[in-house]
Structure 1
């Protein structure tokens, strides 16, 4: 893995501040910021705890800024953005950043060389920060300034009189519950002295929040400072947690977490730079739900678990990485939440009832179960626990369920009501549904056909021959109607959706599912034409555009306030996850030899992005226009998962991540 930067990047404030690191804890919480240490998002923090896993997130400790004092000189290692000023400018002392199993920072100041490592502990709301003094000409003092937020992760904190100071409960251990409705916060720095001094730090600015048209200034509270005398060869291990750290050792916890991550890599049957990098990235999305179940966080920093995203991501995140038990528990978690034959679209942040405004998440559930069986050969689980759920889902779709979702007389699936967004193109601003697509959507019906074929195959294999035949006949009707109604002879591709006599001919990536899913729907001649149209109009080095650039509604840049952002979300914005179906289509249509060769080139074209935004992971979206700047979430489950899946399924092992990871010009 060559995920590293020297001072040509780290000592440039702009370059260092647009690259981000992320550590997650398997509960839905995290630690994360930029290389420079400047927070650019309200979601950045050293301990963002999931108090009701995987949600209930609170930014407890925003920062722990360091100051080094030696021989009468003072060197600030932290960095913050204030109105019109960057202060302090600790990034000038950052000589190197690298991401291996953990993010590591090397600072040099006053002749002292410090290596800092940050790690989130799996299964705990705990962040570790360790320091090793690699060089020091003489003893020196290191100070830490805790900056406390104590707020919900979507909100911002401002100066107030309600914040609590906290108290020492042991050697270098501070306990503080900032507010009555916030979780407990413990900071342990063994051997350090704590100097109580209440201060507010005003108007820290978060640049990305400003770009997004949101409130971007925050005040943070500090109860005082820690200080510790150090010399060459010393090590310091800090524990930041919602639970008491008394009796615990940061380095022991770090070693345990290191072994856990090394085991994830050791379990991979193929060693490859892409697989190594993306296996660690995939680990960040698998989190706890309830007492014994698991789920997949859709993206960091603001998503929870979504039905559609989870089912698309699951094969790559869990199955290709050998996390079969996690996959089973995720499928169980969602099966338990099925209502009227529908998988939930999302679980809200604050414990409200799940939302079911999705037509395709349920159908992706069939695909995920099909791939689970292919990878695990676990027929007992599929037969006993999943098959009855799938049968009930199909029955509901034939009878009709929410939002007019029902099977029409032509065997195709119809869905939609005014004011609702049911497909993956689900942006909505107030009452404005940007891409409503009411009727029979092309990708929905490709998934519907696959759901019928998958169920027919499973029913046959498990001795339910008559039921299998019934579903196979319904699949035959669906594919015949699909080819007759969706083919657009003028553009030599598929209509995006149809509603009665209306045919929407927007060029979007949705039609790829007709040639990329386990059971394709088109003849090879039509498949070649669809792929050619998609490649010509939608492909970019980082994903597929959501709308052809020649369309009047095409938006080349994703940015601005929510109205502008959501208006562009599916109107040209590039989505990384579509590289998975695209690579499937390349291999299916162009043949294994030519298809895999082109697929490897797709990976080579994307490699630079691993060092561009979220280090070692894949962003959610990008601008439709070059240079395709990354936007949205810095780490997206289906983007990571789909790449892992196609790399393993199509054996794209001969294309390691380029050593320099320099941008490839489109």
Structure 2
């Protein structure tokens, strides 16, 4: 039985099927994304969504959707589905769906009278091209298929309206056509693996609506252009492959390319394989290097997210080469920032004060998997350079004070992962001595000393790091541990933030911590009691002022809720490590039970992946980006951690 299979009763119920999305990528920034009934519900949805560096740094929707029509005995049955004004869905092709299966590739089975037709989609790796395979399993009379392409040629974060600037011309291509609606865009080639007839019939389909954008308070109506339709006959047992890409392809190669792509897929046949598949799609390679995308469909590469998600998305699935490839690119960017103050074009927010600390944490995870000796050879100098850079106060907003703790100014702009803003101002203005900054700092000092302890000539530097670490440890406990048994979130001057937040977890989870076991156990009890949910760790306790657990409403309303209660799955990585450090083997079964909540999500939201965040209260609905690298990576890391305990 398939791990991810949905039957007719769910598919024809739009209330149940429309919230379920499917994502496929080319591992180079382009993607295909829609709902499991092929009705687009976001402006970022589309069959071919690609980056166009010549235009900007965003993705662009070229082919929004492709409506298929089955024709028998002169009767037409349209399999497409769009939402129009007035809550009208048309042409209601979902009523012909019998099942949807996405274990290997997304496959939809339709039944129209005596016709049984399957549709499978494959995005070609490292190429801006999608293949869609149609197979006629059953038919009792001659059958014809029609295909109407809905074209957008727009920024994925914008919307299209009927206009007269659009270029309606097209050129013939092998078994298809090519067109380019606007200057600056590449030509879109739409081809089949057999001869096809194209009939020009240009129309604007007006008033298509995207319900997810409507829910989020964004503009949600657009017009899409259909240049005409393709038509061909199909026989029982025959397969037809449609290709959409930015270069003309050879139709005779479609079948081979399709089969090769399927061979390289990680089948989503289990919880682990679903997350592995998702992680592989988040790792991208493009002309400037290798990166870990923060998430789909709207995130780009962000430094902090990359370092947090990288160990789980690579090392936890035994892909050390992928880790090293991404780190090679990241190391180059870090060095340029430290030496020249240069902000990388691809890796955003590399100047955030905690990014260097997260980079060392990431390298530490590599050391755990490959050994200190190998890690020293690969990244020893980078770790040493980062610590020297911080100790010499070269960072524009990370200052080493006399108490050996790190201080950052976050009053006017965001400096941590809690980065929501309204009118450019932080919603959560964390400033001064931040608890996770200094937990990471303490850990980095002792890790660097352990990493370099056998290196000739490094004795003095190792002693310096340990000395700073000893002083930082004392200062950390004095500053952050409060009388209620947990840690202040941040301290600035005479002000200490008593909010119960998850950032204190890093002081419990890291390999080197200034807290003793009794202190860690007490803090962990507070986190478990007030922050733990089946979908992650709350960003704020319900008992703390300002708790807002539901990430809904307008953009401003969502910004005020972003870090004020919703749960984050990626924080389970730190929680699991902290729990195992306190309870050892006796904590394994508890953590395994907690993972059930994440496995449930494999058939919700974005199929086979994890959303950016979840409401802090039941039913813990997924919100935000549909696939988030830090969440995928850290849950994979937890699975890997538990696996080692169970060996």
Fold shared, TM-score > 0.5 on shorter chain = yes
Partner of 1:224: 228
Q: Please give the alpha-carbon distance, in whole angstroms, between the structure 2 residues aligned to 1:483 and 1:340.
A: 32
Distance of aligned partners of 1:450 and 1:342 in 2 relative to their CA distance in 1, 3 Å threshold: farther
Three-state SS of the structure 2 residue aligned to 1:157 is coil
Are the counterparts in 2 of residues 60 and 149 from structure 1 also a CA contact under 8 Å? yes
Three-state SS of the structure 1 residue aligned to 2:259 is helix
Q: TM-score, normalised by structure 1?
A: 0.92
Give how far 1:503 is off.
1.0
Are the counterparts in 1 of residues 502 and 571 from structure 2 also a CA contact under 8 Å? yes
1:274 pairs with 2:271: yes
Give how far 1:483 is off.
1.2
Give how far 1:654 is off.
8.1
Partner of 1:643: 635
Are the counterparts in 1 of residues 408 and 431 from structure 2 also a CA contact under 8 Å? yes
Partner of 1:148: 151
1:487 pairs with 2:487: no
Are the counterparts in 1 of residues 175 and 251 from structure 2 also a CA contact under 8 Å? no
1:529 pairs with 2:522: yes
Give how far 1:417 is off.
4.3
Give how far 1:179 is off.
0.8
Partner of 2:624: 632
Question: Where in structure 2 are the equivalents of 1:218-297 lying within 5 Å?
Answer: 218-247=222-251, 249-262=253-266, 273-291=270-288, 293-297=289-293
Three-state SS of the structure 2 residue aligned to 1:337 is helix
Q: Cα RMSD over matched residues?
A: 2.3
1:300 pairs with 2:296: yes
Question: Unpaired runs of 5+ in structure 1?
Answer: 266-270, 656-666
Q: Please give the alpha-carbon distance, in whole angstroms, between the structure 2 residues aligned to 1:652 and 1:16.
A: 37
Distance of aligned partners of 1:343 and 1:43 in 2 relative to their CA distance in 1, 3 Å threshold: farther
Q: Please give the alpha-carbon distance, in whole angstroms, between the structure 2 residues aligned to 1:250 and 1:416.
A: 56
Are the counterparts in 2 of residues 343 and 361 from structure 1 also a CA contact under 8 Å? no
Aligned match for 2:329, one of 315, 330, 333: 333
Q: Please give the alpha-carbon distance, in whole angstroms, between the structure 2 residues aligned to 1:248 and 1:477.
A: 69
Give how far 1:379 is off.
4.3
Are the counterparts in 2 of residues 28 and 55 from structure 1 also a CA contact under 8 Å? no
Distance of aligned partners of 1:90 and 1:364 in 2 relative to their CA distance in 1, 3 Å threshold: same
Distance of aligned partners of 1:273 and 1:200 in 2 relative to their CA distance in 1, 3 Å threshold: same
Distance of aligned partners of 1:595 and 1:176 in 2 relative to their CA distance in 1, 3 Å threshold: same
Aligned match for 1:118, one of 100, 121, 127: 121
Aligned match for 1:458, one of 441, 451, 454: 451
Q: TM-score, normalised by structure 2?
A: 0.95
1:540 pairs with 2:541: no
Q: Please give the alpha-carbon distance, in whole angstroms, between the structure 2 residues aligned to 1:653 and 1:46.
A: 42
Partner of 2:361: 367
Give how far 1:134 is off.
1.2
Three-state SS of the structure 2 residue aligned to 1:651 is helix
Q: Please give the alpha-carbon distance, in whole angstroms, between the structure 2 residues aligned to 1:531 and 1:502.
A: 24
Three-state SS of the structure 1 residue aligned to 2:265 is helix
1:86 pairs with 2:109: no
Are the counterparts in 2 of residues 304 and 346 from structure 1 also a CA contact under 8 Å? no
Partner of 2:571: 578
Distance of aligned partners of 1:150 and 1:371 in 2 relative to their CA distance in 1, 3 Å threshold: same
Question: Unpaired runs of 5+ in structure 2?
Answer: none
Question: Where in structure 2 are the equivalents of 1:189-204 lying within 5 Å?
Answer: 189=192, 190-204=194-208
Give how far 1:494 is off.
0.6
Distance of aligned partners of 1:227 and 1:247 in 2 relative to their CA distance in 1, 3 Å threshold: closer
Structure 1 range deviating more: 625-634 or 244-253: 244-253
Partner of 1:215: 219
Are the counterparts in 1 of residues 174 and 251 from structure 2 also a CA contact under 8 Å? no
Partner of 2:558: 565
Partner of 1:8: 9
Q: Please give the alpha-carbon distance, in whole angstroms, between the structure 1 residues aligned to 2:91 and 2:564.
A: 41
Partner of 1:64: 66
Distance of aligned partners of 1:63 and 1:342 in 2 relative to their CA distance in 1, 3 Å threshold: farther
Residues 210-269 of structure 1: CA distance to partner in whole angstroms, max 9, x if unpaired? 11111101111111101111121010111111121135532211211122225xx7xxxx
Q: Please give the alpha-carbon distance, in whole angstroms, between the structure 2 residues aligned to 1:421 and 1:345.
A: 19
Are the counterparts in 2 of residues 342 and 362 from structure 1 also a CA contact under 8 Å? no
Are the counterparts in 2 of residues 166 and 175 from structure 1 also a CA contact under 8 Å? no
Question: Where in structure 2 are the equivalents of 1:397-546 lying within 5 Å?
Answer: 397-463=390-456, 464-489=458-483, 491-546=484-539
Q: Please give the alpha-carbon distance, in whole angstroms, between the structure 2 residues aligned to 1:629 and 1:56.
A: 28
Distance of aligned partners of 1:111 and 1:272 in 2 relative to their CA distance in 1, 3 Å threshold: closer
Are the counterparts in 1 of residues 81 and 93 from structure 2 also a CA contact under 8 Å? yes
Q: Please give the alpha-carbon distance, in whole angstroms, between the structure 2 residues aligned to 1:253 and 1:346.
A: 39
Q: Please give the alpha-carbon distance, in whole angstroms, between the structure 1 residues aligned to 2:394 and 2:431.
A: 15
Partner of 2:602: 610
Partner of 1:133: 136
Residues 499-553 of structure 1: CA distance to partner in whole angstroms, max 9, x if unpaired? 1221111001111111112223321111111111111111111111100112231
Q: Please give the alpha-carbon distance, in whole angstroms, between the structure 1 residues aligned to 2:343 and 2:139.
A: 52
Give how far 1:167 is off.
2.6
Partner of 2:382: 389
Partner of 1:321: 317
Are the counterparts in 2 of residues 70 and 141 from structure 1 also a CA contact under 8 Å? yes
Give how far 1:364 is off.
1.0
Residues 140-172 of structure 1: CA distance to partner in whole angstroms, max 9, x if unpaired? 111111000001111111111122234343342
Give how far 1:495 is off.
0.7
Q: Please give the alpha-carbon distance, in whole angstroms, between the structure 1 residues aligned to 2:602 and 2:271.
A: 10
Three-state SS of the structure 1 residue aligned to 2:317 is coil
Three-state SS of the structure 2 residue aligned to 1:320 is helix
Partner of 2:40: 39
Three-state SS of the structure 2 residue aligned to 1:358 is coil
1:183 pairs with 2:186: yes
Are the counterparts in 2 of residues 130 and 238 from structure 1 also a CA contact under 8 Å? yes
Matched length:
641
Q: Please give the alpha-carbon distance, in whole angstroms, between the structure 2 residues aligned to 1:654 and 1:231.
A: 53
Three-state SS of the structure 1 residue aligned to 2:264 is helix
